[in-house]
Amino acid sequence: MGVDETRIFLSCHLTRFLIQLGAMKIIRARTDHIFIEQFQALPGQAWVLLGTNRSGIDDFFALVAGRPFSGKVEERSLPDRPGVLSFKDQQAVYESELKKDQTDFLDRLDPGTPARDFLKHLARHADLIEALDMTDSLDKGYRQLSTGQTRKLLLLAPITKGMTCLVIQAPFDGLDPGSCKELDRAMCHLFSKGIQILMFVYNPADMPSWTTHLGIVADGRLIYQGPAEQVPEHFLNQAKTPDFQATVQDFSPPEQTSSDTQEKKELVRLHHCTAGYGGNTVFTDLTLVVDQGDHTLITGPNGSGKSTLLQVITGDHPACYTSNLTLFGIRRGTGESIWEIKQHMGIVSPDLHRNFRVPGSVLACILSGLFDSIGLYTPVTDSQKKRAMTWLARLNLASAATVPFRDLTYADQRLVLIARALIKGPRILILDEPTQGLDQPNRIAVLDFLAEVAKDGLSTILYVSHREDECRDFFVQHIRMTPPAG
């Protein structure tokens, strides 16, 4: 359905929307990070709320989603039991599935809770499930679903329970372009069926074509709210300053011998590797060679094996032992420990982010990168603390040093994990979707910093991305991966 057809279709159903849905209204709400004088979303409107990571938009999301709000609200009227999909909700489902994982006690991979168990009244919503292309996925386990499928499942769950309003945080983050289009069509279909949608995004490019109304948050205030087609350009331009500016100052390069300065050393050699999970192969016969300075971009759609490839290299997938893999001149499986290998690596990945659930401060999180541990269990020196504080200052997070890591916003957690990976000056910097959850200014700031790292030869970068706009000139080779046939 084209944009014009979509708008005509939605307009024809406006009367039914007005009957089904109630208005959302907020009068004078305040926290330390945001002040909302007034906000109102009427039935039949599809809202996008746009703001940078530290604009106050996360507090606004909590307010609209009916979450605990550490501030004063004079008046708040919300639709009855809105369905909410946020980073924390996805994390909660992941952690719940992790606790129930029986793989260690089975002779096969535990697929997780069947998708159908997340939904109610399946027969009543069969047409909707089919329209979102989820019918054939109902008997799959949660861990067998792609990232895009899990998003659609978690969108369907509240709808099948009778909720008529969805409040969604950054739905497109971590999805490849094809999955983004698929999810966009799914949400447009839900809206056409009378589901009110309020979507919170960090990047203007994530605003769907069927958006009817736009709210822009900047400097802790809602500076614009109204029809999406009428927003003045200067409002969109107010949120383009990054929250940080990291530089390579005081960044320690890997130790080099005199011979290293004359010729590049081979860091990774993977020869004819095949890998998968639970009997399902995700790639076959893959060969990869990375020499010192060969900054490598790895792209491909969800399910093509990009993250699996990195897990083989980092030793977090069993194929690292069955494959012909050499790291830093050492053949895997010849008696070396995983820690001897990882001491030369800095790693940022969605798995690391999800698994970083231990209690501890922001400062402790960065320091743990020196020891490749999730949590800090080793005494640190004053100079190490000073170095970690330097990184926090570059991220404009020095005041949050003693704050629990899990209390930061998702985006600030990701920035801290990048600093954690860099603090030891690794020979290889392995980044799996490192800018996920970041707004456009901070995304560009991270990539600009990596360009400096590459220019000064401080680390060799292996970078996984779904985004076409993250291909920079410093990448020496580009690995394009495709899903397995069938």
The reply to whether 187 and 299 lie within a common domain is no
Question: Tens-of-pLDDT digits for all 486 residues of the chain?
Answer: 444 444 434 433 333 333 344 578 888 888 888 999 999 998 788 999 999 988 999 999 998 988 877 788 888 888 777 889 988 888 788 878 877 877 666 666 678 899 999 999 999 999 889 988 899 889 888 877 877 788 889 989 998 998 888 999 999 887 888 888 888 988 999 899 888 899 999 988 899 999 999 999 999 999 999 999 888 777 777 666 777 777 776 666 556 554 455 567 899 999 989 887 766 788 888 999 999 999 999 998 877 888 889 988 988 888 888 888 999 888 887 777 777 788 899 999 888 888 888 889 999 999 999 998 889 999 999 999 999 999 899 888 999 999 999 888 888 898 899 999 989 889 999 999 999 888 888 888 889 989 988 998 889 999 999 887 889 999 999 999 887 765
The reply to whether 35 and 129 lie within a common domain is yes
Residue 275 covered by a domain: no
From residue 468, how far is each of 178, 299, 457 by CA, in Å?
12, 9, 24
User: Among 236, 254, 278, where does a domain finish?
Assistant: 236
Closest by Cα among 313, 399, 161 to 305 = 313
- The pTM assigned to this predicted structure is 0.79
The reply to whether 367 and 461 lie within a common domain is yes
pLDDT at 421: 92
CA distance 60 to 43: 19
The bridge status of strand 46-51 relative to strand 213-218 is: parallel
The reply to whether 130 and 55 lie within a common domain is yes
User: Among 220, 236, 252, where does a domain finish?
Assistant: 236
Residue 245 covered by a domain: no
415 in Cβ contact with 332 (< 8 Å): no
Residue 334 covered by a domain: no
User: Among 202, 221, 236, where does a domain finish?
Assistant: 236
CATH of the domain at 195: 3.40.50.300
Sequence-distant (6+) residues with CB within 8 A of 106 are none
The reply to whether 299 and 209 lie within a common domain is no
Residue 110 covered by a domain: yes
The reply to whether 225 and 344 lie within a common domain is no
CA distance 466 to 23: 37
The reply to whether 226 and 358 lie within a common domain is no
Tokens 């300065």, located at residue: 261
The reply to whether 224 and 358 lie within a common domain is no
Structure tokens at 348: 């940022």
CA distance 112 to 95: 12
Closest by Cα among 476, 424, 434, 440 to 243 = 440
The reply to whether 22 and 147 lie within a common domain is yes
From residue 6, how far is each of 11, 178, 192, 207 by CA, in Å?
9, 20, 8, 15
CB count, 10 Å around CB of 279?
7
Domain assignment of residue 440, given as a range: 293-303+339-480
Give the total number of structural domains in the chain: 2
Residue 262 covered by a domain: no
Residue 243 covered by a domain: no
Residue 271 covered by a domain: no
Structure tokens at 374: 């999730």
The reply to whether 193 and 297 lie within a common domain is no
Residue 260 covered by a domain: no
The 3-state DSSP class for residue 442 equals helix
pLDDT at 11: 39
Burial 9-23 (b: 16+ CB within 10 A, else e): ebeeeeeebeebbee
Go through the chain and tell me how many residues it has: 486
Tokens 């490192």, located at residue: 434
The reply to whether 351 and 447 lie within a common domain is yes
The reply to whether 193 and 299 lie within a common domain is no
